[in-house]
Chains A and B, each alone.
Chain A
Amino acid sequence: DAGVIQSPRHEVTEMGQEVTLRCKPISGHDYLFWYRQTMMRGLELLIYFNNNVPIDDSGMPEDRFSAKMPNASFSTLKIQPSEPRDSAVYFCASSFYGTGGSPLHFGNGTRLTVT
């Protein structure tokens, strides 16, 4: 398996622009997570899905952030409009919960810079 695939790896955009981050989870995994990592705040859980349904979006910072999972093999995180404080590395992770525990498999992240 190719693992969790995120695109793009790097994104540089100007304040006010719309940004869309993409994630392809590992096939068969029923959980998908979006995290954001900064030096100041560490690794924050933004939102997670179970079987394509958003379960907990309490970590989404503002209405400018939205996430969708139209099918089991694709998810997007959108920021509109973007602001400089959104600059961070955004990670997608997936897991198969099952009955015995649920290790997360992370993608290599998208480094977002908003100028």
Chain B
Amino acid sequence: SQQGEEDPQALSIQEGENATMNCSYKTSINNLQWYRQNSGRGLVHLILIRSNEREKHSGRLRVTLDTSKKSSSLLITASRAADTASYFCAPHGSSNTGKLIFGQGTTLQVKP
């Protein structure tokens, strides 16, 4: 299955703290993508990391990928209340199709 599984299911932290979310998957991938969903809105693409990359940064976001362990992590540094959202990982399989399948996500609450 190309579906990723996020862990933990829920995370609650104070503003200013770092938040780490993990993703595991089962098949070989071309890339792995992270998305954010604010309440009542569609998913928004955050970052894409290719299978030959180990780490990628975008602003306060840091994503790592370990293809040997079939896992990825998303780190949000210096969290803000506006980071409160659900976060999803989506492994893009090597079968060369365009579809993405999403897991249940991690719900992050950042308390001001």
Contacts and interface: CB of A to CB of B under 8 A. Distances in A.
A101 B103 contact: no
30 contacts: A4-B42, A30-B98, A31-B98, A33-B99, A33-B100, A42-B102, A42-B103, A42-B104, A42-B105, A43-B43, A43-B102, A55-B97, A56-B97, A56-B99, A93-B43, A101-B31, A101-B33, A101-B48, A102-B92, A102-B100, A103-B45, A104-B33, A104-B35, A104-B43, A104-B45, A106-B42, A108-B40, A108-B42, A109-B41, A109-B42
Nearest to A109: B42
Interface string B95-112: 001111111110000000
- Tell which of B43, B45, B50, B98 has the most Cβ of chain A within 10 Å: B98
Interface residues on chain B, size class:
20 to 34
Contacts, number: 60
A105 B48 CA distance: 13
- Tell which of B40, B41, B90, B99 has the most Cβ of chain A within 10 Å: B99
B87 interface: no
Interface residues of A, number: 25
B42 A93 contact: yes
A30 B41 CA distance: 23
Interface of A: 4, 30-31, 33, 35, 42-43, 45, 48, 50, 55-56, 91, 93, 95, 97, 101-109
